[in-house]
Every structure is written in C-alpha cells, then in structure tokens.
C-alpha cells in the first residue's frame, strides 16, 4: 500500500495558536467563513490575519461593509500589533464597500445577477491588480443582504471563491450570526457554510455570568485540524488562543457548579 | 515592617530548575510570610522576574506589603482576579497590574500570563499562583484540577518556574491529590490536613 506524503502549501495566519489548531495554517487559496456573534473578535482576527501577512511582505486587502474604513482603522489602530504604516505603504488596502457600489453604479436596495457579476469582477480585478494574497470581506452578511435569492448568494460566493483561489488569494469572509451554540447555523443565509472551504465559529461561553470568547474550527478542507473549543483573548499583541477547559466549555446544570 | 523570612525556603529553592513546579503549602496565619520567603530569593538571589496571579487579595495590597519589606516589584506583573469584583477596586496607581473580571475566567488568566511572559525582558521567569484555595471558592473541583494540570504543563514546557500557593485544609481533596501528582517539588509550611 502506498502512503501519500503530499500536503498542501499553507497560508500561515500568524495568529497565536491558530496555526497550531490548523496544523500549519490555512491551505493556500481557501475561502474561510469566520462566523461569529457580536463582540466575538471577528474583525480583530481578520485584521490581524492581514497584518501578519503584510509583515512578511504580502499584499493584503480588506473590504469593509459594516463600518466606514476611517472608523475601522481608528478602532484597530488602538492595538499595538496594528501598524498604520502598512496602510500608508499600500501593503494593507482598505476599501469601503459603499464606495465600490458607487463606482459600479450599484447604489440600489437589491442586486440582480448582472450586479452580482459586476461586483465579483470588481473585487477580483482589485485582487489581481494589486496582487493580493490575503483578503478579508467584513462582512459577507451585510454584503449578501442586497442579494435577495439564496441561489444568487450561492452563485456569488462560489464564483468569488473560485476566482480568488485561481488568483492564489486566501480569503476570510466574516459572517455575523446571532448564536454560536450547537444548534445554530454557522451562516446568516444558510448557504455560505456549504460553499466555503473552511468554517471558523466564534462566540461566547457564559460561565457564572461572565462571557468567555471562544473560537472553534468546525471545518477546513485540505488539512487535518483540531475541532476543540478554544478560549480567545484579545491582547495588545493580537488574538491569543488556548484550549478551553473541558469541564468549563458548557454549563451543566446537573453538576450544580460547586 | 519587621518580618523574619524562612531561610530554609531559600535553601530549598536552590535545588529547583526553571521547569520545576513547586507546591507551596502554608497555613492561614503564615501565608504572607511564606509568600515573601519564596519571592525574595527568586528576585534577589536568582534575579528572576515574572507574573504574580493574585486571587487571594487585591494585587495592590500584595505590592504594598512586598514593598514594605524593601522589595522592588518592577520586574513582576500582577494579574488581579479580585479587585474587579467590587466598584472602585481597579482604581489603583500601580502600572504593573492588570485585571481579570473574575476568578472563574481561568483560561483568560492563563492567556494574560502568557501575554506578559511574551512581552517581558526578563531572562528567567516565574509564575506565582496565589492561591489554589482562593480559586477553589469560585471554581468547580474537576475544572480546577483540570486547570492546574494545564497550567503546570504549559509553563513547564516554556521553562518558566511555577510556584503554586495552597492552604491545604481549604482546598478540595481531589485537587490536593492532583497537585501532589503534577508538582515536582513541595515546600511544606502548611497545617495538618484532616479530611
């Protein structure tokens, strides 16, 4: 019997603990859904992913749909790990989706097939022109609100992911969800999770009235990975992760908590 | 402040290595004397710095008590698990204290400790956990035992000396038994345990 030693090249995220969970990083060219509840650290994770790439000379892009880029940068520059010089030097390129819509003449309430294709072309043109190898779209939920049919959302994400992978770009699509419990969907529209190569779920575990942030890699095509819950802490150095205590990852009322 | 330190503790510390984990048993009446008897040689004789996890009382109080002995605490970062529990508790002047909301956020304490160890310039570091019995007030027995297991192995792996303070008769028996198993060294200044 022949054994295969083939492993896919990895995009080393540089996020403390995440590459260990992913046994080396995200397989290059993957589209990963980072689905999380509000305040779970999605935007910080996405931005740190870009910063770590920019630090090694990679061209990075961030499309922001949830807040204006000025506000995003004002918030993120409070973290010492973030270097505004990376934005000034063009290593990290931040785009307002509203500005992009305006350029494309897409200032409308809903998008049809033609609009969706125009949007995909605009994003992939930017990625191709700059030579972007790390991309974050924050959030795909806000973006997809304008796409009214599930089929169109599916087509949009599938085509976008395929084109970005062809360009060698590793992408994180940030998704807003209202619950990260066992029975929750990991995406807002129920289709993103099936299309993406990987799913990272972020949320809170309540422990005696306190919220602990967690991160869990549910799926990642092309690599073995841990599926355990990890506690996430936002530090000045960026995101830090450690496996969540097994006896503390769920509240079991029968055990009475001491 | 006049206090006689226990010199035998300093002698015992000469026999431990950086990846050791020391269980320090004390009583309710000698806890601070035992703490100071460990901290003084670590700072002065071994020129170490580190992280002090303060779960028994507010970190500012510990700093003041150590400084009253003539100790400089500038090479120690304090993680205070107590003072966020009451309004005004975090309004302190010391720059080397960070606060965690509650002693139940055990993983946050571990990550904050790792963060400070990543940012320190000290060549040799210790982590001083004060104390297991204080954590046992808030945390369920099995979770605390699991935590200590993780805690000790995390720092042992990084060649950081772990010192775990413990009042035995206020600590759950299974946690005590696990401590005996995980720790490499014992400094016993505790009381007789009757369960």
Say if B173 falls within a structural domain.
yes
pLDDT at A255: 40
Say if B3 falls within a structural domain.
no
Residues of B in contact with A240 (CB under 8 A): 111, 114-115
Say if B2 falls within a structural domain.
no
Residue of A197, A206, A171, A199 whose CA lies nearest to A185: A199
User: Which of B115, B141, B143 comes nearest A235 by C-beta?
Assistant: B115
pLDDT at A182: 63
Sorted by sequence, the CB contacts under 8 Å of residue A124 that are 6+ apart come out as: A160, A163, A164, A167
How close A194 comes to chain B (CA, Å)? Answer: 32
- Test the B interface: residue of A245, A250, A251, A253 with most B CBs within 10 Å: A245
What is the rounded (10 degree) CA torsion for B38, B44, B45, B46?
80
User: Which of B114, B147, B154 comes nearest A245 by C-beta?
Assistant: B147
Instruction: Count how many residues are written for chain A.
Output: 258
Range of the domain at B36: 10-189
What ipTM was reported for this prediction?
0.90
Say if B1 falls within a structural domain.
no
Say if B139 falls within a structural domain.
yes
Residues of A in contact with B147 (CB under 8 A): 245
Q: Alpha helix (H) ranges present in chain B? A: 7-13, 31-44, 59-68, 106-119, 132-138, 141-157, 173-182
pLDDT in tens, chain B (195 residues): 567 899 999 999 999 999 999 999 999 889 999 999 999 999 999 999 999 999 999 999 999 999 999 999 999 999 999 999 888 888 888 999 999 999 999 999 999 999 999 999 999 999 999 999 999 999 999 999 999 999 999 999 999 999 999 999 899 999 999 999 999 999 999 865 554
- Read off the pTM: 0.91
pLDDT at A3: 56
How close B78 comes to chain A (CA, Å)? Answer: 16
Question: DSSP secondary-structure letter at B158?
Answer: T
Say if B155 falls within a structural domain.
yes
Whole-angstrom distance, CA of residue B163 vs CA of residue A108: 62
Asked if B104 reaches chain A (Cβ–Cβ under 8 Å), the answer is: yes
**In chain A, which residues have pLDDT < 70?**
1-5, 7, 180-185, 250-258
| CB contact (8 A) between residue B106 and residue A258 | no
pLDDT at A14: 97
Nearest CA in chain B to A237: B115
How close B33 comes to chain A (CA, Å)? Answer: 30
Instruction: State which fold the A10-255 domain adopts.
Output: Rossmann fold (3.40.50)
Assign residue B84 the CATH number of its domain: 3.40.50.300
Cβ pair A197, A32 in contact under 8 A: yes
pLDDT at B1: 56
pLDDT at B2: 66
pLDDT at A250: 65
């Amino acid at each position: 019997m022949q054994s295969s030693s083939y492993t896919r090249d990895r995009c080393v995220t540089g996020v403390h603990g995440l590459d260990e969970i992913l046994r080396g990083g995200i397989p290059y060219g993957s589209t990963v859904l980072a689905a999380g509840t509000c305040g779970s650290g999605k935007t910080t994770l996405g931005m740190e992913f870009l910063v770590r790439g920019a630090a090694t000379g990679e061209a990075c892009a961030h499309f922001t749909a949830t807040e204006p880029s000025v506000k995003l940068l004002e918030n993120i520059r409070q973290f010492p790990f973030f270097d505004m010089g990376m934005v000034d030097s063009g290593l990290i390129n931040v785009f307002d989706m509203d500005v992009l819509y305006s350029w494309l003449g897409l200032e409308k309430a809903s998008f049809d097939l033609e609009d969706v294709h125009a949007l995909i072309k605009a994003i992939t043109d930017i990625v191709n022109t700059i030579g972007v190898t790390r991309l974050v779209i924050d959030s795909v939920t806000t973006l997809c609100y304008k796409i009214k049919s599930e089929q169109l959302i599916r087509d949009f994400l599938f085509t976008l992911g395929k084109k970005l992978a062809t360009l060698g770009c590793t992408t994180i699509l940030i998704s807003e969800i209202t619950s990260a419990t066992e029975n929750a969907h990991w995406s807002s529209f129920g289709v993103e999770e099936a299309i993406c190569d990987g799913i990272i779920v972020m949320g809170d575990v309540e422990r005696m009235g306190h919220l602990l942030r967690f991160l869990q890699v549910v799926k990642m095509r092309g690599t073995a990975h841990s599926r355990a819950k990890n506690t996430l802490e936002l530090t000045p150095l960026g995101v830090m992760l450690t496996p969540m205590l097994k006896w503390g990852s769920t509240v079991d009322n029968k055990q009475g908590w001491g | 402040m006049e206090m006689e330190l226990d010199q035998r503790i300093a002698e015992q510390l000469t026999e431990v290595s950086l990846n050791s984990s020391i269980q320090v048993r004390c009583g309710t009446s000698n806890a601070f004397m035992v703490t100071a008897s460990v901290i003084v040689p670590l700072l002065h004789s071994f020129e170490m710095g580190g992280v002090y996890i303060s779960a028994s009382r507010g970190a500012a109080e510990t700093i003041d008590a150590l400084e009253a002995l003539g100790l400089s605490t500038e090479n120690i970062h304090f993680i205070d698990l107590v003072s966020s529990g009451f309004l005004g508790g975090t309004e302190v002047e010391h720059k080397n204290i960070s606060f965690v909301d509650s002693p139940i956020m055990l993983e946050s304490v571990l990550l904050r400790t790792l963060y400070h160890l990543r940012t320190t310039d000290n060549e040799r570091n210790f982590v001083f956990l004060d104390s297991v019995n204080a954590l046992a007030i808030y945390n369920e027995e099995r979770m605390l035992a699991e935590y200590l297991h993780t805690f000790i192995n995390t720092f042992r792996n990084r060649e950081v000396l772990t010192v775990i303070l413990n009042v035995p008769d206020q600590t759950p028996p299974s946690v005590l038994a696990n401590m005996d198993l995980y720790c490499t060294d014992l400094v016993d200044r505790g009381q007789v345990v009757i369960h």
